[in-house]
């Protein structure tokens, strides 16, 4: 239809200002990270901008990143998962318990806790899809039950390995000077990125998150996709729990709980990175690293406790807010 083609975008004067805002909207969150790095480099020139510290930050990010990237899968499909922290805790306890009481080898324990994670994910998915309970309630409920299982296994007391050295090696081993957890994080990130962006499954997840009805009518098996997202998420949580236990050679009943909020914070922060509120793996990774850099900066500069909270809160709001504000301007 030739007539319709006339309306092509014309490069006009007002566009430049709006382009500027658009740029800001896209890179706003990254700018916040950059500003953070620059300021800290100035304030702590000897300790912050070093290769060692960069590796240190990546290493600290690894566990949070893995659980947050898993959560991203669930968020991409338009769901929620409040049970990840509990699942991570359970995974750690279960892994240590299996190694101590059932003489499981490390790889076998890993497989076992992946299965455990998978089952939790299946249950979440079942309650959400089949019972039609909103994901928030469902995962809150399942999470509570997971705590119960955890208590049943451990009776609430920490489970410690008798001879933890091999297990600890997962956390402390290095290859080319870089700790294993960093590699694990990167491999999982690559895998999840590929799953989300280079497979039909991943594309289907994004479609389900975008419009569930349209996805269903497009032939996408919506319920199956949602269940898979929950399973991936819980399995990532389980891996984080496993690695957490390998940091200590022992596992406590609520060790992983704190990951819940931090994973949400990272994912939401990440949804403002380069995108307009869509969750994506790279963004989540940037989100986790931003939080780690923030925490690292505080520790290196040394701030009063209350400043630490101010700082974290502001980081979150500004990281997301700068981008959305700019995008709003760009659209206006």
Partner 1 sequence: MTIRPELDVPAQGDEGEKMTGATDSVRPGPEPTTTGLLQMRGISKSFGGSRALDGVSIEVEPGSVHALCGANGAGKSTLVKILAGLERADEGEILLDGRRVEVANPRDAADLGLSFIHQELNLVPKFSVLRNMAMGSGHPGRFGILDLRRLRREAKAVQERLGFDIPLDVEVEQLSVSDRWMVSLGRSLMRDARFIAMDEPTASFTDEEASRLMAVIEELTSDGVGILYISHRLDEVLEVSDTITVFRNGQKVATLDSAQTDRQELTTQIVGREVEKLVSRLEAEADETVAETRPVRLSVRNLSRAPRVIGASFDVHEGEIVGIAGLVGAGRTELARLLIGADRATGGTMTLNDAPYAPKSPHEALRAGIALVPEERRSQGLVLTDTVENNLAMAEHGSSPSMRSRFRPKSSRATGQALMERFSVKARSIRDTAHHLSGGNQQKVVVGKYVRTSPGLLVLDEPTVGVDVGARAEIYRIITGLASEGTSVLVISSDFEELAICDRVLVMRGGQLVAEVPASEFDEDHLTALCFGSHESSGTTETEEA
Partner 2 sequence: GGSSSGSDGGDDSYSVGIVRFAPSEVTTEAVINKYTKLAEDEGWEVTTANPDGAVDKAIGAMQDFVQKDVDLIIVSVIESKSLTAGLKSAKAAGIPVASIAGGGADGVTFDLVVSPGTEVPEAMVKNMGGKGRVLALGYKPGLPCQLREDAFNKTVEGTDITVDRQEVLIPGQLESGQKFATTWLAKNPKGSEPLSIWACFDDPAMGAIVAAKQAGRDDVKIYGYDGTPPALKALKEGQLAATAAPDTAGSAQMLFDATPDVIKGGVDAEPKTEEIPFPIITPETLDQYLKDNPGADAS
Ligand X SMILES: Nc1ncnc2c1ncn2[C@@H]1O[C@H](COP(=O)(O)OP(=O)(O)OP(=O)(O)O)[C@@H](O)[C@H]1O
Residues that bind partner 2 (CB under 8 A): 44, 47-48, 50, 52-53, 56, 59-60, 63-64, 147, 150-151, 155-158, 160, 164, 168, 171-172, 179, 244, 247-250, 252-255, 257-259, 292, 295-296, 298-300, 302, 305, 308-309
The residues in 300-319 that bind a second copy, with binding defined as CB under 8 A, are: 304-310, 312-317
Among 58, 62, 67, 142, binds a second copy (CB under 8 A): 142
Contact yes or no for 117/93 (Cβ under 8 A): no
Q: Which does 265 bind (CB under 5 to 8 A by kind): a second copy, ligand X, partner 1, none?
A: a second copy
Residue number with CB closer to ligand X (2 or 7): 7
Task: Mark 278-317 with x for binding to partner 1 (rule: CB under 8 A) and - for no binding.
Answer: x---------------------------------------
Q: How far is the CB of 41 from partner 2 (least distance, A)?
A: 13
Structure tokens at 156: 């609430």
Q: Which does 219 bind (CB under 5 to 8 A by kind): partner 1, a second copy, ligand X, none?
A: partner 1
241 binds partner 1 (CB under 8 A): no
Q: Which residues pair with 251 in a beta bridge?
A: 159
CA angle 278, 279, 282 (to 5 degrees): 120
- Pairing mode, if any, of strands 250-251 and 159-160? antiparallel
Q: What is the DSSP string of 222-284?
A: HHHHHHHHHHHHHHHHHHHHHHHHHHHTEE-TTTTTTHHHHHHHHHHHHTTSSSSS---HHHH
1 binds partner 1 (CB under 8 A): yes
Residue number with CB closer to ligand X (4 or 51): 4
d(CA 187, CA 178): 14
Q: Which of 108, 91, 96, 144 is nearest to 256 (CA)?
A: 91
Structure tokens at 178: 């870089």
Q: Which of 22, 33, 7, 20 is nearest to 283 (CA)?
A: 33
- Judged by the rule CB under 8 A, the positions of this chain that interact with a second copy are 82, 127, 131-134, 136-138, 140-152, 156, 261, 264-265, 268-269, 277, 304-310, 312-317, 320-321, 324-325, 327-328
- Judged by the rule CB under 6 A, the positions of this chain that interact with ligand X are 4, 7-8
């Amino acid at each position: 239809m030739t007539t319709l083609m006339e309306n092509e975008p014309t490069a006009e004067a007002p566009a430049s200002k709006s382009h500027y805002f658009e740029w800001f909207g896209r890179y706003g969150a990254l700018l916040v990270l950059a500003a953070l790095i620059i300021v800290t480099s100035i304030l702590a020139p000897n300790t912050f901008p070093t290769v060692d510290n960069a590796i240190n930050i990546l290493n600290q990010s690894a566990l949070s990143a893995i659980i947050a990237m898993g959560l991203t899968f669930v968020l991409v499909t338009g769901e929620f998962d409040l049970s990840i922290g509990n699942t991570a805790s359970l995974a750690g306890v279960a892994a240590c318990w299996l190694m101590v009481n059932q003489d499981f080898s490390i790889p076998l324990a890993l497989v076992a806790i992946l299965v455990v994670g998978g089952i939790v994910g299946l249950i979440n998915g079942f309650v959400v899809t089949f019972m039609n309970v909103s994901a928030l309630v469902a995962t809150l409920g399942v999470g509570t039950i997971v705590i119960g299982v955890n208590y049943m296994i451990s009776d609430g007391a920490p489970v410690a390995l008798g001879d933890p050295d091999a297990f600890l090696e997962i956390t402390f081993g290095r290859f080319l000077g870089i700790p294993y957890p960093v590699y694990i994080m990167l491999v999982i990130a690559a895998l999840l990125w590929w799953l989300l962006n280079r497979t039909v499954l991943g594309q289907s997840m994004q479609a389900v998150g975008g419009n569930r009805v349209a996805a269903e009518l497009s032939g996408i098996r919506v319920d199956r996709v949602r269940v898979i997202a929950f399973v991936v998420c819980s399995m990532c949580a389980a891996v984080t729990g496993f690695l957490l236990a390998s940091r200590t050679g022992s596992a406590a009943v609520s060790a992983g709980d704190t990951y819940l909020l931090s994973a949400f914070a990272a994912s939401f922060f990440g949804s403002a990175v380069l995108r307009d509120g869509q969750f994506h793996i790279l963004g989540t990774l940037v989100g986790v690293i931003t939080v780690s850099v923030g925490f690292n900066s505080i520790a290196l500069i040394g701030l009063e406790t209350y400043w630490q909270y101010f700082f974290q809160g502001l980081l979150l709001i500004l990281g997301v807010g700068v981008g959305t504000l700019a995008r709003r301007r760009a659209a206006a």
